[in-house]
Amino acid sequence: MGLSNKIENTKSYAGLMSLRWWLLAIAGAWALDYVLPSMLSPYIFQILVLAGINVILSVSLNLVNGFTGQFSMGHAGFMAVGGYLSAFLTTSLVEHRPDLMIDPATGELLGTAVIFYFGSLILGGVAATLVGYIVGLPSLRLRGDYLAIVTLGFGEIIRVILLNTDAVGGARGLSGIKQFTNFGWVFTFVVITVFCVWRVVHSAHGRVLQSIREDEIAATAMGVNTTQGKVRAFAMGAFFAGVAGGLFAHYLTTLNPGTFDFNRSFEVIIMVVLGGMGSISGSVVAAIVLTVLKEALRPLQQYTGVDLRMVIYALVLIIMMLARPKGIFGTKEIGDLFRGRKKVKGDLT
């Protein structure tokens, strides 16, 4: 009795121990949100926020494209679903129940309005998950290029539906969204995303996903339900893309269907491929590097008068793919490189 209790205790304690760093990271994000504005210019701050949103997108896509080996090209579509739904929810709340959102005396947002914002983000993510499930279920039974084509088509369908939906502004776009998103929120969700993907990948489910990536026939022979595994990864990736969409909407304060075209999906795919398919830290690094690189090259345009940014951006990608086709990290994580040991865990090749 006593012994089992003790084991039980250590177990939950161990769970907390492993959570400790992640919770600390979230606390750190809010601390930085408090401290950084006085140290950094709003411009750099804004780039960091956009980089954070890109990290969420690329890490969640890596779960599908990298770890499960399915080629999804519809991430922008899920982002649009989540972004539009959460923005629509908060703007309608402000319109119909201003007593819940806005302080009548000052016209400012109420402190409690953040609860609705958080709720709308999660609902946006859930909606994206549902859509991901519906799209994924039939198409993930297919193999190879078919999924890419289906998801590409799906992204465009979402965009065209949004263009023709008057309730969310149609082609005019949805404007007047309140700016809830800040550094703290974005990096809280960055930590949550990385945590969830990390834990999934390093669990039994993660082994299932990686076995699907390595050899689907062998995985089926081992008794793995490949469709189920793929749909789970796909839906989870969609959830975080939806949340990222919500964060994006409440940061930019205006949404336009044009923002979520397939170029946006490609940008995320590029981040995943550049960072390394199957490396979470690779996705994080690549998302940050590419977001910052685009801005860092801006002075070049100012001095030359020609926008060379995309040329250099493309060159970097070409050189990268020639020199290191596996991406920056391949399937390794940043910690593996520092420790100088070979990755054993989960490497099925």
Partner 1 sequence: MFFASRLSILCAVAMTVSPVFASTIKIGEVGSMSGSEATFGLSTHEGISLAVKEQNAKGGIKGKKIELINLDNQGKPEEAAVATTKLVTQDKVMAILGEVASSRSMAMAPIAQQNKVPMISPSSTNPKVTEIGNYIFRVCFIDPFQGKVMAKFAAEQLKAKRVAILRDVKSDYSVGLSNFFTEAFKQSGGEIVVDQSYSSGEVDFNSQLTSIRAKKPDAIFIPGYYTEVGLIAKQARKLGIKAPLLGGDGWDSTKLFEIGGKSLNNSYFSNHYSQEDQAPSVQNFIKSYKSEYNKVPDGLAAMGYDAAKVLFAAMEKTKSLASTEIRDAIAQTKDFPAVTGNITIDAKRNASKPAVVLEVKDGKFLYKSTVNP
Nearest distance in Å: CB 248, partner 1: 8
Q: Which helix (H) or strand (E) holds 92?
A: helix 75-96
| Residue 305 DSSP code | S
The residues pairing with 195 across neighbouring beta strands, listed in sequence order, are none
Nearest CB to partner 1, comparing residues 46 and 227: 46
User: Taking Cα atoms as reference points, which of 180, 178, 170 lies closest to residue 258?
Assistant: 170
d(CA 65, CA 72): 6
69 or 77, CB closer to partner 1?
A: 77
Nearest approach, Cβ of residue 34 and partner 1 (Å): 19
Smallest distance from partner 1 to CB 300, Å: 11
What are the counts of helices (DSSP H) followed by strands (DSSP E) for the chain?
A: 15, 2
Rounded CA-CA distance 304/307 in Å is: 8
Residues within the interface to partner 1 (CB under 8 A): 41-43, 46-47, 50, 160, 163-164, 169-173, 175-176, 179, 248, 252-254, 256, 258-259, 295, 298, 301-302, 307, 309-310
Nearer to partner 1, 38 or 41 (CB): 41
Closest contact distance (angstroms) between CB of 302 and partner 1 is 7
- 8-46 burial, b for 16+ CB within 10 Å, e for fewer? eeeeeeeeeeeeeebeebbeebeebbeeeeeeeeeeebe
Of 5 and 38, nearer to partner 1 (C-beta) is 38
CB of 31 to partner 1, least distance (A): 22
